[in-house]
Structure 1
Amino acid sequence: MDQDFFLKSLGIFLMGTTVVTLRYFLFAGIAYGVFWKKLRERISHRIIQAKLPEFQKIRTEIKFSLSTMVIFGLVGVGIFWAKSAGYTKIYKNISDFGWPYFLFSIIAMIVIHDAYFYLTHRLMHHRSIYRYVHEVHHRSTNPSPWAAFAFHPYEAVIEAGIVPLVVLIMPVHGLAIFIFLLFMTFLNVLGHLSIELYPKGFVRNPLTNWNNTTTHHNMHHRYFQCNYGLYFNWWDKLFKTNHNQYAKEFERITEKPLFLPK
Structure 2
Amino acid sequence: MDIVLDLFDEYLLDAAWARIVPLDAFGGVPALSKAAANASSFVPYVAPSSTWNQFVSYLPHPPLPHLNATVPAAHAISAWPRDYIPRQLLSLSAITLAGIYVLYFSFAWLSYTFIFNHEMMKHPRFLKNQVKLEIQSSLRAFPGITLLTLPWFEAEVRGHSKLYSDVSEYGIAYLIFSVPFFLLFTDYAIYWVHRLLHHPLVYKHIHKPHHKWLVPTPFASHAFHFVDGYLQSVPYHLFIFLFPLQRWLYLGLFVFVNCWSILVRPPLSLLPYFGCDT
- Contact 1:72 1:160 (C-alpha < 8 Å) held by counterparts: no
- 2:29 corresponds in structure 1 to none
Could you say which residue in structure 1 is the equivalent of 2:94? 14
**Structure ranking higher on relative contact order (CA contacts 8 Å, 6+ apart):** 1
Cα distance in 2, alignment partners of residues 71 and 103 from structure 1: 34
User: Which structure 2 segments of 5+ residues have no match?
Assistant: 1-60, 63-79
Mapping of residues 94-173 of structure 1, within 5 Å: 94-173=167-246
| Alignment-derived partner of residue 253 in structure 2 | 180
Runs of 4+ in 1 over 4 A off after TM superposition: none
State the match for 1:223 in structure 2.
none
- Once superposed, what is the RMSD of the aligned Cα atoms? 2.8
In the alignment, which residue of structure 1 is the partner of 2:142? 69
- Cα 1:16–1:99 change in 2 (3 A) is farther
Cα deviations by residue, 1:203-222 (Å, 9 ceiling, x for unpaired):
xxxxxxxxxx44x44xxxxx
Aligned equivalent of 1:34: 114
**Contiguous gaps of at least 5 residues in structure 1:** 200-212, 218-228, 231-262
Shift of 1:72: 4.2
- Aligned partners of 2:149 and 2:230 also within 8 Å: no
Residue of structure 1 equivalent to 2:263: 190
Q: What is the CA–CA distance in structure 1 between the aligned matches of 2:185 and 2:253, rounded to whole Å?
A: 11
Contact 1:48–1:195 (8 Å) recurs in 2? no
Distance 1:134 1:141, change over 3 A: same
User: How many angstroms apart in 2 are the aligned matches of 1:12 and 1:88?
Assistant: 16
TM-score normalised by structure 1 residue count: 0.65
Measure, in 2, the Cα distance between the counterparts of 1:99 and 1:63. Answer: 44
- Count, aligned residues: 198
Alpha-carbon distance in 1 for matches of 2:168, 2:125: 48
The TM-score with structure 2 as length reference comes to 0.62
SS at match of 1:195: coil
In 2, the alpha carbon distance for the partners of 1:116 and 1:6 equals 31
User: 2:125, 2:214 within 8 Å by CA — same for their partners in 1?
Assistant: no
Tell me which structure has the larger Cα radius of gyration. Answer: 2
Find the counterpart in structure 1 of residue 54 from structure 2.
Answer: none
Cα distance 1:23–1:52, how it changes in 2: closer, same or farther (>3 A)?
Answer: farther
